[in-house]
Amino acid sequence: MQNKLKDVVNILQQARHTVAFTGAGISAESGIPTFRGKGGIWDKYDPIILEIDYFKKNPDKAWPHIKDMFYNVIDKAQPNPAHKVLAQWEQQGLLKAIITQNIDNLHQKAGNKNVIEYHGNTRDLICLNCGKITPVKQTDMTQNPVTCPHCGGLLKPDFVFFGESIPLEAQQQSLWHTQSSDVYLVIGTTGIIMPASLLPYEAKKNGATIIEINLTPSNYTNTITDIFLQGKAGDILPGLQKLMN
Ligand code: APR
């Protein structure tokens, strides 16, 4: 593993445009459950809660679970060493952008500025009636369902539900960075949920070196991954950083 780490350090230090593509696994060591795998969110909750049609028809059933799944957990979560290394690498000019599937805001909390939130975020809520965006911090989240302070309409979390499309700007920025990258770090993702999961394939097609960090093999490991660093992101990324110093 040590030689692999040294190889990755050399690749990163010579790269022109490194991009990190992250999933729930990078936040696991911050206490945020992943979606799949032992103790994952989908072990406890039915994904239908995050289907947009179900939510619109049953907001009073969906909202309590959504608060338990996300809002009651994310607020207390802090960036872990994996997030912090990516923030250092952006400051040092080693990392051009993060494309994250996560909605926990931990990359920004760690200090990264160029974060593309492919699935939106949990900072804001959007009104399905008047379209206004209200920060969670300015909303009475004790209500069920949560309603708009401007018009009383139903508020929905400002992240992408199943059956909704990816925000256009996130799609465009992600594609540009993916097609510009020569090194693509794939960190903590099963590579199952499309269209996000297609991005590493696009990077590979454009000639990027795929470096994957994961506890277990993913859909990418035996197909497009060039270097697989198996283990916790919170151990491996600081290990790489240490070799750089
Ligand atoms: N370090 C590195 N990888 C980890 C760690 C860790 N400490 N802990 C778990 N993992 C890996 C798991 O092995 C798994 O491959 O993180 C991955 C988590 O997979 P998922 O829970 O499927 O998360 P993700 O791939 O981000 O899911 C994508 O699915 O439900 C939707 O919208 C949701 O954005 C989410 C999308």
- Same domain for 27 and 89, yes or no, is yes
Token readout for 5 is 């780490």
Is the distance from CB of 98 to CB of 112 less than 8 angstroms?
A: yes
Please report the beta strands in the chain, taking only residues with DSSP state E, as ranges in sequence order.
18-22, 97-100, 115-117, 120-127, 133-135, 155-159, 183-187, 209-214, 227-230
pLDDT tens, 150-180? 999 999 999 999 999 999 999 999 999 999 9
Q: Whose CA is nearest to atom 31 of ligand 1?
A: 193
- Same domain for 233 and 172, yes or no, is yes
Question: What pLDDT score was predicted for residue 194?
Answer: 96
Q: Whose CA is nearest to atom 30 of ligand 1?
A: 35
For residue 125, the CA-to-ligand 1 centroid distance in Å is 24
pLDDT-derived band of residue 213, with 50, 70 and 90 as boundaries? Answer: very high
> Which is the closest atom of ligand 1 to the Cα of 40?
21
- Same domain for 113 and 132, yes or no, is no
Neighbours of 66 (CB within 10 A): 22
Catalytic-labelled residue, pool 17, 65, 119, 150: 119
Question: What pLDDT score was predicted for residue 245?
Answer: 84
**DSSP secondary structure letter of residue 48:** G
Token readout for 54 is 């179900």
> Which is the closest atom of ligand 1 to the Cα of 25?
16
Query: Which of 159, 183, 214 delimits the end of a domain?
Result: 159
For residue 130, the CA-to-ligand 1 centroid distance in Å is 34
Token readout for 196 is 């996000």
Percentage of residues in the chain with pLDDT exceeding 90? Answer: 96
- Same domain for 136 and 224, yes or no, is no
- Same domain for 103 and 217, yes or no, is yes
> Which is the closest atom of ligand 1 to the Cα of 213?
2
Identify whether 177 is a catalytic site residue. no
> What is the residue-wise DSSP string for 1-29?
-HHHHHHHHHHHHH-SSEEEEE-GGGGGG
CATH code of 45's domain: 3.30.1600.10
The parent domain of residue 53 ranges over 33-76+121-159
For residue 53, the CA-to-ligand 1 centroid distance in Å is 25
Q: What is the mean pLDDT of residues 13-30?
A: 98
Mutational pocket test of ligand 1: of 21, 27, 35, the residue with most ligand atoms within 8 Å of the beta carbon: 35
Please report the beta strands in 143-215, taking only residues with DSSP state E, as ranges in sequence order.
155-159, 183-187, 209-214
pLDDT higher than threshold 90 for residue 2: no
Pocket of ligand 1 (CB under 6 A): 23-25, 28-29, 34-37, 40, 101, 119, 188-190, 192-193, 213-216, 218, 232-234
CATH code of 235's domain: 3.40.50.1220
> Which is the closest atom of ligand 1 to the Cα of 47?
30
Q: What is the mean pLDDT of residues 209-226?
A: 98
The letter for the amino acid at 234 is G
pLDDT tens, 97-147? 999 999 999 999 999 999 999 999 999 999 999 999 999 999 999 999 999
Question: What pLDDT score was predicted for residue 38?
Answer: 87
For residue 114, the CA-to-ligand 1 centroid distance in Å is 21
pLDDT tens, 65-99? 999 999 999 989 999 999 999 999 999 999 999 99
Q: How many structural domains does the chain have? A: 2
3-state helix, strand, coil in the chain (%, to 5): 40, 20, 40
Q: Is the pTM of this model over 0.85?
A: yes
- Same domain for 126 and 24, yes or no, is no
- Same domain for 62 and 182, yes or no, is no
Nearest partner of 119 among 71, 58, 161, 83, judged by Cα: 161
pLDDT-derived band of residue 16, with 50, 70 and 90 as boundaries? Answer: very high
- Same domain for 203 and 105, yes or no, is yes
- Same domain for 69 and 169, yes or no, is no
